[in-house]
């Protein structure tokens, strides 16, 4: 009788424990995306799955934080905004391979780590903000940015910023270090001013007539046009040109997702990672963040679609990551930011 009672109590506690666990289902996300940009996505995930998302957002240092926290890190998932951040997290040893048939099926191979440590969930392109008044051409190559005809006409943020490091690393991967150095010297010679500010400021300076071409990411222009009335005139004075490499396509970078090495809620982490590659999340990403979906068949936001059809360069993003250090060294060598 006692045994039977004890067994019944154990069963009851197991049932209660299981429902208590279900009620407390959660996943902890460290993100380089601003909280307000990703909140709609996490709210949609919770609505779809019942799993609560706890968010820690920062503009830098998240992989160092995860490393310092070690086995006690609460992080389950790291969301990043560039292959630079992705690579830094992997090099810091704070990630583990994701084994997911969903990710392998949905995310094209060039947008995944061959070792499974990361996957892209959306794309952005590094493009030209050109003066509507002063630039007549509607097509340009990255190589042409070093043409002396643009002397004194280009604005850009720091050559060491991760967005430019990605582009420059792609150039190194395409052409080799010697030609990349020559190209960087040519681009530097064409700068209208010392590299400064961010991508929005390059549009501002083109609008003000300080330069004819600015280099920026696709989504900033859309945000200025649609979500920031103070900066809308900067977008209205410029047009977006999707540049290409000679014999290639437009340089793209990723917003990526990584599984934390010591994820305490690994099952929910994988649920979120796979959900982010789903149709619902991909559409929300496309519309809320003005990025290109990695999943085929998702409608690109109308503002982004207005730039023209994206012919993304086929280079694997992992190859760009492998050339980041070489690109950074060349920027210093040519004194790009001086």
Residues 119 and 133 in one domain: no
The whole-angstrom distance between residue 206's C-alpha and the CA centroid of its chain comes to 25
Residues 183 and 321 in one domain: yes
Confidence at residue 328, expressed as pLDDT on a 0 to 100 scale: 98
Neighbours of 268 (CB within 10 A): 21
Average pLDDT, the chain: 92
Residues 189 and 258 in one domain: no
- Report the distance separating Cα 308 and Cα 139, nearest Å: 11
Q: Which positions ≥6 away from 257 have C-beta within 8 Å?
A: 77, 78, 79, 80, 118, 119, 121, 273, 276
On whether residue 233 sits in a domain, the answer given is: yes
Residues 164 and 285 in one domain: no
Answer yes or no: are the C-beta atoms of 300 and 286 closer than 8 Å. Answer: yes
- Report the distance separating Cα 212 and Cα 233, nearest Å: 15
Q: Which of 8-22, 198-212, 234-248, 265-279 has the lowest mean pLDDT?
A: 8-22
Answer yes or no: are the C-beta atoms of 320 and 331 closer than 8 Å. Answer: no
CATH code at position 323:
3.40.190.10
Interval 132-172: pLDDT, tens: 999 999 999 999 999 999 999 999 999 999 999 999 999 99
On whether residue 338 sits in a domain, the answer given is: no
Domain count, the chain: 2
Residues 36 and 132 in one domain: no
On whether residue 263 sits in a domain, the answer given is: yes
Helix (H) or strand (E) holding 153: none
Residues 209 and 320 in one domain: yes
Residues 103 and 224 in one domain: no
Residues in the chain: 338
Q: Residue 36's pLDDT band (boundaries 50, 70, 90)?
A: confident
Residues 131 and 98 in one domain: no
Residues 128 and 28 in one domain: no
> Binding site: residue ranges?
219-220
Residues 145 and 43 in one domain: no
Q: Residue 24's pLDDT band (boundaries 50, 70, 90)?
A: low
Q: Which domain holds residue 108?
A: 2-123+253-299
On whether residue 305 sits in a domain, the answer given is: no
Residues 168 and 262 in one domain: no
Sign (positive or negative) of CA dihedral 264, 270, 276, 279: negative
- Report the distance separating Cα 186 and Cα 189, nearest Å: 5
> Binding site for Fe cation: residue ranges?
219-220
SS3 112: strand
On whether residue 307 sits in a domain, the answer given is: no
Residues 240 and 326 in one domain: yes
What dihedral do alpha carbons 196, 199, 201, 202 form, nearest 10°?
80
């Amino acid at each position: 009788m006692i045994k039977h009672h004890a067994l019944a109590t154990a069963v009851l506690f197991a049932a209660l424990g299981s429902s208590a666990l279900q009620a407390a289902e959660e996943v902890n996300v460290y993100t380089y995306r601003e909280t307000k940009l990703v909140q709609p996505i996490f709210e949609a995930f919770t609505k779809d799955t019942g799993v609560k998302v706890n968010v820690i957002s920062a503009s830098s240092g998240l992989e160092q934080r995860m490393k310092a926290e070690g086995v006690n890190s609460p992080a389950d998932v790291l969301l990043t905004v560039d292959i630079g951040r992705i690579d830094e997290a992997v090099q810091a040893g704070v990630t583990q391979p994701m084994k997911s048939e969903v990710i392998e099926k949905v995310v094209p191979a060039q947008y995944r780590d061959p070792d499974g440590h990361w996957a892209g969930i959306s794309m952005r392109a590094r493009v030209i903000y050109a003066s509507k008044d002063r630039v007549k051409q509607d097509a340009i190559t990255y190589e042409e940015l070093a043409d002396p005809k643009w002397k004194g006409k280009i604005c850009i943020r720091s050559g060491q910023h991760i967005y430019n490091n990605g582009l420059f690393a792609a150039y190194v991967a395409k052409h080799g270090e010697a030609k990349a150095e020559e190209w960087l010297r040519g681009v530097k010679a064409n700068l209208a001013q010392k590299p400064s500010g961010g991508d929005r400021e390059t549009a501002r300076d083109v609008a003000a007539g300080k330069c004819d071409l600015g280099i920026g990411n696709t989504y900033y222009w859309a945000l200025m046009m649609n979500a920031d009335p103070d900066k809308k005139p900067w977008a209205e004075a410029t047009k977006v040109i999707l540049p290409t490499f000679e014999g290639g396509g437009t340089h793209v970078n990723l917003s990526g997702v990584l599984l934390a090495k010591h994820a305490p809620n690994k099952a929910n982490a994988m649920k979120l990672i796979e959900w982010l590659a789903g149709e619902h999340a991909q559409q929300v990403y496309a519309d809320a963040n003005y990025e290109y979906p990695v999943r085929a068949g998702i409608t690109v936001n109308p503002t982004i679609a207005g730039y023209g059809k994206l012919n993304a360069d086929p280079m694997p993003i992992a190859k760009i990551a492998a050339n980041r250090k070489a690109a950074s060294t060349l920027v210093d060598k040519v004194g790009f930011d001086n």
